[in-house]
């Protein structure tokens, strides 16, 4: 995230969202400052600790949060409900972070929210993400939604989204990422994500290998876990899939373009909270659900895909999806942040990719193309027949790739939200 030196709040009459965002980036000493005390106090001053009659769903997980939120949103809108989604990060426009009935909120709406938060916070310092979360809650309360879906930013227990009590929660997956904040074992990460659970509420768990820390905490607070494999299951067929649980059974559901495991978690929650929603409505919602940067198809001949996968868990799923294509070559354009498990990502994709095009990301946290190439070559087992190229930016990489690929090839652009955003800016 770019740094800013603007430390004076924009005038209350300012209508430029970019001015506000520059200010929000500058006013807190660190980008991440885990804890709920400060943000809870400001939320209390704004009367945002509850959203009145709006049902709140909070979604945590190492991967799959965004797609799960998108499918929940689509199903519930298809069922006639007014739905808001708060998500992060954005790809191209800040406005993507808060949407109501699948429409991004306007600059004017955000500016109104920021003015209110700035007045309420007074002496309290807030991070960029805490400001964003409060703005989302402010806009949702103004809209008087039926359902608000909150995507956790980092972990769960100390994430700003956790200041509000949810009617139900979802934990999509648990793996290692952001170890400096969440811990370096799955048990520690699991305990952080379990922090979104609430007493006498349900938590749908899409992670099949559930850490004991999640089970122990749920038992401690009397939260009912609804677990994949134990309480619900799903089975894919050629043109449809089946959802089975103790409380519902849906046959011949439409296959979504987004990951089926996350669809199953969304359906498990919907069938518990809104049992009146019919299978046809669920199917239609799943068909219509999309999310930019998640195996997003940009062109067909050749097939160009964009994916924000940036850790080994996500890379493993990406490799499995790429293997489904009978391509002559699979060509990667990869840019990553230097604090990610770069070697772990390459290990998962090594047998799938025929040509690597490493790029330098234009951000302070970005790894250089040389760092990526060196990390790949340092692996004990590497694909000896693979080609590795390095580029100083994504435009040069794309221009080079375009000159060499054939219509039968597949191009995958991945490694970071920054990478996908940079590519989308080109096109």
DSSP sequence for 350-405: TTT-SEEEEE--SSTTBPPHHHHHHHHHTSSS--TT-EEEEESSHHHHHHHHHHH-
Asked if 218 and 191 count as a contact pair (C-beta separation under 8 A), the reply is no
**Angle at the Cα of 317 from the Cα atoms of 230 and 177, rounded to 5 degrees:** 85
Query: What's the average model confidence in pLDDT over 335-355?
Result: 95
Residues 6 or more apart in contact with residue 403 via CB below 8 angstroms:
none
**What tokens appear for 95 in the block?**
């406005």
The CATH classification number of 36-288 equals 3.40.1190.10
Which stretch of 216-230, 292-306, 312-326, 369-383 has the lowest confidence by average pLDDT? 369-383
Query: What's the average model confidence in pLDDT over 216-238?
Result: 97
Q: Which fold has domain 296-425?
A: 3.90.190
Q: In the predicted model, is pLDDT for residue 394 greater than 60?
A: yes
pTM: 0.92
3-state secondary structure of 72: helix
Cβ neighbourhood burial of 322 (10 Å; 0-12, 13-18, 19+): buried
- pLDDT confidence bin for 82, thresholds 50/70/90: very high
According to CATH, where is 3.40.1190.10 located in the chain? 36-288
Residue 17's pLDDT is: 95
According to CATH, where is 3.90.190.20 located in the chain? 296-425
**Cα-flanking dihedrals φ and ψ of residue 192, to 5°?**
-65, -45
Residue 6's pLDDT is: 54
> What is the DSSP track for 120-185?
HHTT----HHHHHHHHHHHHHHHHT-SEEEEE-SSSSTTSGGGGS--SEEEE-------HHHH-SS
Residue 32's pLDDT is: 72
Q: How far apart are CA 125 and CA 426, in angstroms?
A: 36
Q: How far apart are CA 136 and CA 312, in angstroms?
A: 30
Q: In the predicted model, is pLDDT for residue 382 greater than 80?
A: no
Q: How many CA atoms lie within 13 A of 283 on its CB side?
A: 12
- Average pLDDT for the chain: 93
Which stretch of 83-97, 138-152, 169-183, 239-253 has the lowest confidence by average pLDDT? 169-183
Q: How far apart are CA 421 and CA 419, in angstroms?
A: 5
In this prediction, what percent of the chain has a pLDDT beyond 70?
Answer: 95
pLDDT in tens, 124-137: 999 999 999 999 99
Q: In the predicted model, is pLDDT for residue 27 greater than 80?
A: yes
3-state secondary structure of 337: strand
- pLDDT confidence bin for 2, thresholds 50/70/90: very low
* Sign of the C-alpha dihedral computed for residues 216, 222, 228 and 232 taken in this order: positive
pLDDT in tens, 185-194: 999 999 999 9
Q: Distance of CA 221 to CAs 194, 210, 214, Å? A: 11, 17, 11
Query: What's the average model confidence in pLDDT over 146-161?
Result: 96
Going through 232-316 in order, the beta strands assigned E by DSSP cover: 232-236, 240-245, 249-254, 296-299, 303-307
């Amino acid at each position: 995230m770019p740094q800013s030196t603007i430390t004076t709040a924009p005038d209350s009459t300012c209508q430029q969202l970019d001015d506000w965002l520059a200010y929000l980036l500058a006013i807190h000493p660190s980008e991440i400052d885990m804890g709920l005390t400060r943000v809870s106090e400001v939320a209390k001053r704004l009367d945002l600790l509850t959203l009145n009659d709006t049902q709140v769903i909070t979604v945590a997980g190492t991967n799959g949060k965004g797609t799960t939120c998108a499918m929940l949103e689509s199903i519930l809108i298809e069922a006639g409900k007014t739905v808001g989604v708060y998500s992060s990060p954005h790809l191209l426009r800040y406005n993507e972070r808060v949407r109501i009935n699948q429409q991004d909120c306007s600059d004017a709406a955000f500016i109104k929210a920021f003015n209110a938060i700035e007045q309420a916070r007074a002496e309290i310092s807030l991070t960029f993400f805490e400001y964003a979360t409060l703005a989302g809650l402010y806009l949702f309360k103004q809209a008087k939604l039926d359902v608000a879906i909150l995507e956790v930013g980092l972990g769960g227990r100390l994430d700003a989204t956790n200041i509000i009590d949810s009617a139900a929660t979802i934990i999509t997956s648990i793996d290692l990422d952001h170890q400096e904040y969440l811990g370096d074992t799955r048990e520690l990460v699991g305990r952080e994500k379990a922090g979104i659970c609430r007493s006498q509420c349900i938590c749908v768990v899409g992670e099949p290998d559930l850490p004991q820390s999640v089970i122990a905490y749920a038992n401690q607070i009397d939260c009912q876990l609804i677990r994949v494999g134990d309480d619900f299951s799903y089975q894919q067929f050629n043109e449809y899939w089946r959802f089975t649980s103790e409380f519902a059974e849906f046959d011949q559901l439409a296959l979504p373009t987004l990951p089926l495991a996350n669809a199953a978690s969304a359906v498990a929650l919907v069938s518990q909270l809104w049992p009146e929603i019919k299978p046809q409505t669920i199917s239609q919602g799943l068909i219509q659900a999309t999310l930019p940067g998640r195996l997003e198809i940009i062109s067909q001949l050749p097939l160009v895909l964009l994916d924000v996968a940036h850790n080994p868990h996500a890379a493993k799923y990406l490799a499995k999806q790429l293997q489904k294509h009978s391509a002559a070559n699979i060509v990667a354009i990869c840019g990553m942040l230097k604090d990610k498990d770069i070697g772990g990502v390459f290990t998962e994709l090594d047998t799938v990719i025929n040509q690597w095009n490493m790029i330098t990301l234009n951000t302070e946290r970005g790894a250089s193309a040389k760092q990526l190439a060196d990390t790949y070559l340092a692996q004990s087992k590497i694909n000896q027949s693979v080609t590795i190229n390095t580029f100083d930016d994504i435009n040069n990489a794309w221009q080079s790739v375009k000159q060499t690929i054939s219509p039968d090839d597949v191009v995958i652009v991945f490694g970071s939200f920054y990478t996908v955003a940079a590519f989308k800016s080109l096109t």
